[in-house]
C-alpha cells in the first residue's frame, strides 16, 4: 500500500507567498520588483515540492484540473489585445508589457492549482488565516508608525508610513484583506474569536489612519454590502448579533482613528471629509483632468490606442496650464487613475472590453457560488473592492494591490461543475510545468528590473554630486527592454541625455532625448532638452523649432523663453532674443535678467 503524500510542505510554501505583497526594502522607491522577486522565489520552491509530490504519487500524475472554459478563453485573449502595439508604434515595449502580465497570470494559475489540490475548505482555512496574520502584523506596524513608534526602518514617503511606503498603497492592500476576517471567522473556535475581533480593530484602525479617501468610500460601500448579505442570508437569531458585532468593530476603529497624530498630510477626518467635496482640492482637480484627457485621447485613437505605456507621455498635450516652472521637472501624470480608461487609451477598445469581461466573468462566477456557499461571498467582496479601486486609482499596476484579487480569480478559474460544456480538462502535471515556466520568466525579468533599478538609483545619486561620467556608466547598465523609464514614467534616455550634455557630447544627448520622446511624445522637459541639445550643437534654427513646439503646446515656462532668447541672440537676432529674454525675466529667470543687461540695454 502506497503511503499518502503529505500536503504540509505545499501549504507552508503557499502561505509564504502571501508575505510577498508587504515585502519591502528601504533602498527602493517602489516595492513592486522586490515583491515580485519574493513571490517568484517562494513559488519556485512551491512548484518544486509540487512536482516532486506528483512524480512520487502516480495517481496525482493522472489527475485532471477542470478550468472554467469561458473565463480561461477571455484570459488567454487579453494579452493578444496588446498586439495593437504593432499598429500604434509601441511594439518595442511589447516584451515589457508581456513580462508584467505574466506575474498576475502566475498568481491566478498557482492559486487555482492549490485550490484544486487542497479543496475548498482547507484552502479557505489556510488562506484566510495567512491573510489575516499578514494584514494584522502589517497594520500593527502601521498604527505604531502613526504614533511615531518606530520598531523597524520603513520606506515612508507620505506618513503614516507602512512597509509599502505610501498611505494610498497601504489602503489598496489592506482593504481587500478585510473580507478574509469574515472567512476566518467561519473556521476558528468560539473561545478564539476575541483575538479575531482585536485583529479586525487593528486592521480597520490603520486603514482609517491612512486617511485614504477612496478607501473610506469603498469601505462604507463594502460594509453596506456585507450588512445586506447578513440580513438576507443569516438566520434570524444570528442577524442582530453579527450586525452589532460588525458595527461595533467599525465604531471602535473609528474612535481610535480620531486620536490626534502629527506629521500627516490629513491629520484628522474633518480635513479628509472636506477634501471629498472641495472642487479646488488638488487630487480632485487632477483626477478630473486625467479622466477628461483620457476621453480626448480615446476619441482620437479609439481602435489602436496611443501606444503601450504612453498615457503619461500624451497627457501634457491635454493639460497645458498644469505645467509650470515649479513642477515641469516632476511628472505627476503617471497613470489615468482608472485602469479601464488607461487600457482603452493605450491599446484601443478591444483591450478594455476584454479586461472588463474578465472582471464581470469572475464576479458572476463568485456570485453564483455564494448562493450555495457564503464563503465565496467574502472572496467576491475582496474582488469587488479591488475592482472599485480600479475606477479611481491604478491597482493593476501595483503587485500588492492586485495580489489578493488574482488569488480570488484563481479560485474562480477552477470549474466546480460537472457540465462538460463549461470546462476544459488539463493534466495537473502539465499545468504545473506551465506554471514553473511562468515563474522562471517572471523571476528572471523581475531580477533584470531589480538590477536596473539599483543602477538607476546609483545614477541619480551620482547626478546630484555632478559625477556625470560615473552617472552615464550606471545608466548604460540599465536594461532598455525591461526598464525604459523610471517610476515616475520619465524615460531613462532623458537621464542619459543629461549626462551626455554635461559631458559635452551633444549629438549623443540629442539622440537620447529624441529616443526618450518616442516614449513620451508630449513630455515638456524632453522638448526643452532636445532644444538644448541642438543649441549645444550650434543648430539654432532646429532649437528654435522645438522651442516653438513647446510654446504652441502652452509650455511657456521661463526656461523655454530663456532658451529661445539665447538661440536668437546666437543668430544675431537681438530684437527677438531680447523680447523672449524679457518674458523669461518676468517669469523669474535670473540668468535672463543678466543677459538682458549684456545684450539688450540699447
Residue 340 C-alpha cell reads as 479601464
Task: Please give the grid coordinates belonging to residue 245.
Answer: 458585532
Please tell me whether residues 424 and 572 are part of one structural domain.
no
282 vs 34 pLDDT, higher one: 34
Q: Are residues 273 and 420 in the same domain?
A: yes
Question: How much of the chain, in percent, has pLDDT values that exceed 90?
Answer: 70
pLDDT at 27 over 80: no
Domain-embedded: residue 343 = yes
Asked if the structure places residue 494 within a domain, the reply is no
CA–CA separation, 405 vs 59, rounded Å?
32
561 and 438 within one domain: no
Q: Using an 8 Å Cβ cutoff, are 82 and 351 in contact?
A: yes
432 and 571 fall within a common domain = no
Q: Which residues pair with 339 in a beta bridge?
A: none
Is residue 589 within 8 Å of residue 561, measured between CB atoms? yes
Note whether 98 and 232 are same-domain residues: yes
CA distances for 225 relative to 218, 219, 319, 354, 500, angstroms: 10, 10, 38, 26, 57
Same domain? 430 vs 566? no
Is residue 426 included in any domain, yes or no? yes
Cell of 44: 519556485
Helices (H) and strands (E) in the chain, counts: 28, 2
189 in a domain, yes or no? yes
Q: Are 500 and 506 in contact (CB under 8 A)?
A: yes
d(CA 208, CA 218): 12
Asked whether residue 454 is domain-assigned, the answer is no
Which residues have a Cβ under 8 Å from the Cβ of 419 and sit 6 or more positions away?
none
275 domain residue, yes or no = yes
Q: How far is CA 555 from CA 31, 125, 509, 560, in A?
A: 33, 57, 21, 8
What is the per-residue pLDDT across 472-511, written as a single tens digit (0 to 9) for each? Answer: 999 999 999 999 998 888 899 999 999 999 999 999 999 9
C-alpha separations of 31 from 25, 95, 164, 399, 402 in Å:
7, 21, 7, 8, 13
Beta bridge partners of 218: none
- Single out the residue in 442, 467, 499 at which a domain terminates: 442
Q: Based on the domain organization, do 432 and 566 belong to the same domain? A: no
Question: Which pLDDT band, with edges at 50, 70 and 90, does 1 fall under?
Answer: very low
Q: What is the rounded distance in angstroms from the CA atom of residue 161 to the CA atom of residue 379? A: 27
**What pLDDT does residue 211 have?**
87
- Confidence bin at 237 (pLDDT 50/70/90): confident
Q: What is the mean pLDDT of residues 223-229?
A: 96
Q: 194 in a domain, yes or no?
A: yes
Measured CA to CA, the distance from residue 249 to residue 256 in angstroms comes to 11
What average pLDDT is seen over the chain? 90
Range of the domain at 570: 557-602
Tally the C-alpha atoms within 13 A of residue 369's C-alpha that lie toward its C-beta.
22
pLDDT at 588 over 90: no
DSSP code per residue over 218-278: HHHHHHHHHHHHHHHHS-HHHHHHHHHHHHHHHHHHHHHHTS--SS-SS-SHHHHHHHHH-
Alpha-carbon distance of 27 to 487, in angstroms, equals 14
Mark which of 395, 413, 442 sits at the end of a domain: 442
Q: What is the mean predicted confidence (pLDDT) over 35-64?
A: 89
Which residues face 65 on adjacent strands? 426
163 and 304 co-located in one domain: yes
> Over the stretch 246-265, which tens digit does the pLDDT of each residue have?
999 999 999 999 888 765 65
| Whether pLDDT at 458 is above 60 | yes
pLDDT tens for 539-579 read 999 999 989 888 877 666 788 899 999 999 999 999 999 99
pLDDT in tens, 134-185: 999 999 999 998 888 888 887 765 555 566 667 778 899 999 999 999 999 9
Q: Is residue 290 part of a domain?
A: yes
For the chain, the domain total comes to 2
Integer-rounded Cα radius of gyration of the chain: 27
Domain's final residue, options 389, 421, 442: 442
Chain segment 374-392, per-residue pLDDT in tens: 999 999 999 999 999 999 9
Amino acid at each position: 500500500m502506497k503511503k499518502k503524500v503529505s500536503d504540509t510542505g505545499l501549504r507552508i510554501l503557499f502561505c509564504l507567498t502571501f508575505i510577498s505583497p508587504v515585502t519591502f526594502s528601504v533602498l527602493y522607491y517602489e516595492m513592486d520588483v522586490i515583491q515580485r522577486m519574493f513571490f517568484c522565489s517562494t513559488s519556485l520552491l512551491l512548484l518544486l515540492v509540487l512536482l516532486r509530490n506528483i512524480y512520487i504519487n502516480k495517481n496525482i500524475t493522472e489527475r485532471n484540473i477542470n478550468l472554467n472554459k469561458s473565463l480561461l478563453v477571455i484570459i488567454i485573449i487579453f494579452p493578444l489585445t496588446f498586439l495593437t502595439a504593432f499598429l500604434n508604434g509601441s511594439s518595442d515595449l511589447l516584451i515589457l508589457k508581456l513580462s508584467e502580465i505574466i506575474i498576475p497570470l502566475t498568481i491566478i494559475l498557482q492559486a487555482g492549482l492549490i485550490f484544486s489540490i487542497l479543496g475548498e475548505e482547507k484552502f479557505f482555512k489556510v488562506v484566510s488565516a495567512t491573510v489575516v496574520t499578514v494584514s494584522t502584523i502589517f497594520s500593527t506596524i502601521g498604527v505604531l508608525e502613526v504614533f511615531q513608534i518606530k520598531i523597524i526602518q520603513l520606506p515612508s514617503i507620505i506618513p503614516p508610513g507602512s512597509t509599502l511606503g505610501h498611505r494610498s498603497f497601504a489602503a489598496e492592500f489592506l482593504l481587500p484583506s478585510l473580507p478574509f476576517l469574515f472567512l476566518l471567522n467561519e473556521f476558528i473556535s468560539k473561545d478564539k474569536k476575541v483575538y479575531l475581533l482585536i485583529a479586525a480593530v487593528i486592521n480597520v484602525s490603520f486603514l482609517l489612519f491612512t486617511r485614504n479617501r477612496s478607501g473610506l468610500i469603498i469601505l462604507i460601500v463594502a460594509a453596506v454590502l456585507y450588512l445586506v448579505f447578513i440580513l438576507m442570508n443569516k438566520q434570524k437569531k444570528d442577524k442582530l448579533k453579527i450586525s452589532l458585532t460588525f458595527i461595533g468593530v467599525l465604531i471602535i476603529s473609528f474612535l481610535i482613528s480620531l486620536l490626534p497624530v502629527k506629521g500627516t498630510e490629513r491629520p484628522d477626518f474633518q480635513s479628509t471629509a472636506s477634501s471629498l467635496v472641495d472642487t479646488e482640492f488638488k487630487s480632485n482637480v487632477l483626477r478630473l483632468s486625467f479622466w477628461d484627457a483620457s476621453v480626448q485621447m480615446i476619441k482620437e485613437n479609439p481602435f489602436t490606442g496611443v501606444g503601450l505605456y504612453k498615457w503619461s507621455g500624451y497627457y501634457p498635450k491635454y493639460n497645458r496650464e498644469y505645467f509650470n516652472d515649479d513642477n515641469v521637472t516632476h511628472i505627476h501624470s503617471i497613470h489615468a487613475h482608472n485602469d479601464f480608461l488607461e487600457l482603452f487609451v493605450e491599446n484601443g477598445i478591444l483591450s478594455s472590453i476584454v479586461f472588463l469581461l474578465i472582471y464581470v466573468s469572475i464576479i458572476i462566477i463568485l456570485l453564483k457560488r455564494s448562493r450555495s456557499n457564503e464563503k465565496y461571498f467574502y472572496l467576491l467582496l475582496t474582488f469587488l473592492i479591488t475592482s472599485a479601486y480600479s475606477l479611481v486609482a491604478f491597482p493593476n499596476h501595483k503587485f500588492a494591490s492586485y495580489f489578493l484579487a488574482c488569488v480570488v480569480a484563481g479560485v474562480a478559474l477552477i470549474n466546480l461543475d460537472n457540465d462538460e460544456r463549461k470546462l476544459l480538462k488539463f493534466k495537473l502535471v502539465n499545468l504545473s510545468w506551465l506554471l514553473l515556466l511562468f515563474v522562471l520568466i517572471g523571476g528572471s525579468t523581475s531580477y533584470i528590473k531589480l538590477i536596473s533599478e539599483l543602477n538607476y538609483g546609483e545614477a541619480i545619486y551620482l547626478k546630484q554630486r555632478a559625477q556625470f561620467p560615473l552617472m552615464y556608466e550606471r545608466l548604460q547598465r540599465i536594461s532598455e527592454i525591461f526598464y525604459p523609464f523610471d517610476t515616475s514614467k520619465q524615460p531613462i534616455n532623458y537621464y542619459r541625455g543629461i549626462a551626455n550634455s554635461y559631458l559635452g557630447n551633444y549629438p549623443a544627448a540629442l539622440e537620447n532625448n529624441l529616443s526618450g520622446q518616442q516614449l513620451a511624445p508630449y513630455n515638456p522637459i524632453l522638448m526643452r532638452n532636445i532644444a538644448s541639445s541642438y543649441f549645444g550643437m550650434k543648430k539654432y534654427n532646429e532649437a528654435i523649432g522645438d522651442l516653438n513646439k513647446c510654446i504652441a503646446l502652452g509650455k511657456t515656462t521661463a526656461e523655454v523663453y530663456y532658451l529661445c532668447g539665447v538661440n536668437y541672440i546666437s543668430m544675431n537676432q537681438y530684437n527677438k532674443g531680447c523680447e523672449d529674454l524679457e518674458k523669461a525675466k518676468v517669469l523669474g529667470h535670473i540668468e535672463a535678467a543678466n543677459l538682458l543687461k549684456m545684450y539688450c540695454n540699447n
